[in-house]
Amino acid sequence: MTQPERTGKRRAKITGTGMCVPDRVVTNHDLAKLMDTSDEWIRQRSGIVERRFIEPGQMPADLARVASERALDAAGLEASELDCIVLATLSAQAEFPGTSFFLHEALAAETIPCFDLRAQCSGFGYSLGIARSFVESGQFQRVLVVGCEVHSTGIDLSDAGRDVAVLFGDGAGAVVVEANEDDADPSAILEVRLHAEGAHARRLWIEAPGSGFTPVRISHDLIEERRHFPHMEGRFVFKHAVKRMPEVLLETLHAASLKLEDVEIFLFHQANLRINEYVVQQLEIPPERCANNIERYGNCSAASIPILLDEVVRAGRLERGQVIAMTTFGSGFTWSSIVARY
């Protein structure tokens, strides 16, 4: 073990994981019936084969609730034992107060604090970093961290939006972060590194509804101009993702006094399988050490990493005491990496 671990100090560990995706499977062929695209184009460019979309009436907090209950169950906790809920999303259930409050209601979480965190596809990394600080500082003992997205109701499923619409899916993932004061237990979130570069905020964004760029938040004109749909400069984003993810991963490992070889499993944001293949190749990571599920779920933004983490844990690919690295990149731009001893 190269990392001395910070014994004697209050540490934060992940004690439970959970996920939930809607039952409705939408294949590339299904999308090709709605817009000018093809299964071949989507697979070749992104690796995606299918994604999940909610059914009418299903809400973000419904997915978040199931994912949270599974994480709580895995941690052996009741919602009433939580001290705080942090929920990362870019597709809030309501413009305000967001999604976390509806999850709070669904979990009957009494009067504990909750809030939505907006760091888009890096939202889970940012939220986990904050949960760790809450726990390490002693402010909270048990924090529920959730990534939750419903993209399907907000993407442009016409030819005009095909570059973005084919990439996204709905889902939620959750983890419970708890204090670990047992020196004999090595499990801990070891290091967290968060970054942003606002100069590129307009390269991947939804402009409306918003309070700044238009005279009113939403209008018929804005809708006709399709400015309420996400817009992305795909190639520009791709180039930054393949630069920033390796950079922040190495920075975080260095801070944890760990090497790439010490990591049992790498999770990268699920935006594009080609991005992750490129990063793995660049860093000479054996491909079997990198888990992906984008082919089944598409890009679930803040939910991608916690969904993948839950799958990895439940498949037995990660055991207690092993090191996991989780790395994100997304709109903002934002990027982050978290290295944890599970």
Vertex 111: Cα angle to 309 and 182 (nearest 5): 50
Give the CA count within 13 Å in the CB-facing half-sphere of 28: 19
155 lines the binding site for ligand UT7 (CB under 6 A): no
Kindly give the pairing relationship between strand 204-205 and strand 263-268.
unpaired
Dump strand ranges (E) for the chain: 11-20, 25-27, 50-52, 84-88, 114-117, 142-149, 171-180, 188-196, 204-205, 231-232, 263-268, 290-291, 323-330, 334-341
337 contacts 277 by C-beta, under 8 angstroms: no
Chain position whose Cβ is nearest to ligand UT7: 234
The CA–CA distances, whole Å, from 275 to 191, 270, 286, 304 equal 24, 9, 15, 14
Catalytic residue among 269, 272, 292, 293: 269
Rounded distance between C-alpha atoms, residue 135 and residue 109, angstroms: 18
For residue 149, the minimal CB distance to ligand UT7 (Å) is 10
For residue 234, the minimal CB distance to ligand UT7 (Å) is 3
Residue of 16, 18, 173, 330 interacting with ligand UT7 (CB under 6 A): 330
Nearest to 208 by CA among 187, 230, 191: 230
37 lines the binding site for ligand UT7 (CB under 6 A): yes
Give the bridge partners for 326, in sequence order. Answer: 267, 338
Binding mask 66-105 toward ligand UT7 (x if CB under 6 A, else -) reads: ----------------------------------------
Residue of 114, 166, 189, 325 interacting with ligand UT7 (CB under 6 A): 166
41 lines the binding site for ligand UT7 (CB under 6 A): yes
113 lines the binding site for ligand UT7 (CB under 6 A): no
Choices 12-20, 216-224, 268-276, 319-327; region in contact with ligand UT7 by CB under 6 A:
268-276
Size of site (CB under 6 A) for ligand UT7:
20
Q: Which residues contact 170 (CB under 8 A, 6 or more apart)?
A: 21, 22, 51, 52, 53, 54, 63, 149, 150, 151, 152, 300
272 lines the binding site for ligand UT7 (CB under 6 A): yes
290 lines the binding site for ligand UT7 (CB under 6 A): no
Whether 151 sits among the annotated catalytic residues: the reply is no
Residue of 4, 220, 235, 288 interacting with ligand UT7 (CB under 6 A): 235
Rounded distance between C-alpha atoms, residue 312 and residue 323, angstroms: 13
For residue 150, the minimal CB distance to ligand UT7 (Å) is 15
Rounded distance between C-alpha atoms, residue 49 and residue 298, angstroms: 8
For residue 298, the minimal CB distance to ligand UT7 (Å) is 10
Choices 22-30, 255-263, 271-279, 283-291; region in contact with ligand UT7 by CB under 6 A:
271-279
Residue of 49, 61, 92, 271 interacting with ligand UT7 (CB under 6 A): 271
> Which amino acid is located at 52 in the chain?
R
53 versus 238: smaller Cβ distance to ligand UT7: 238
21 versus 258: smaller Cβ distance to ligand UT7: 21
The CA–CA distances, whole Å, from 238 to 155, 233, 329, 342 equal 20, 9, 10, 30
Catalytic residue among 84, 114, 121, 148: 121
Whether 299 sits among the annotated catalytic residues: the reply is yes
28 lines the binding site for ligand UT7 (CB under 6 A): no
252 lines the binding site for ligand UT7 (CB under 6 A): no
38 contacts 215 by C-beta, under 8 angstroms: no
292 lines the binding site for ligand UT7 (CB under 6 A): no
Rounded distance between C-alpha atoms, residue 76 and residue 203, angstroms: 42
45 versus 317: smaller Cβ distance to ligand UT7: 45
Helix (H, G, I), strand (E, B) or coil at 228: coil
- Contacts with ligand UT7 by CB under 6 A lie at 37, 41, 45-46, 121, 162-163, 166, 234-235, 237-238, 241, 271-272, 275, 299, 329-331
Catalytic sites, residue numbers: 121, 269, 299
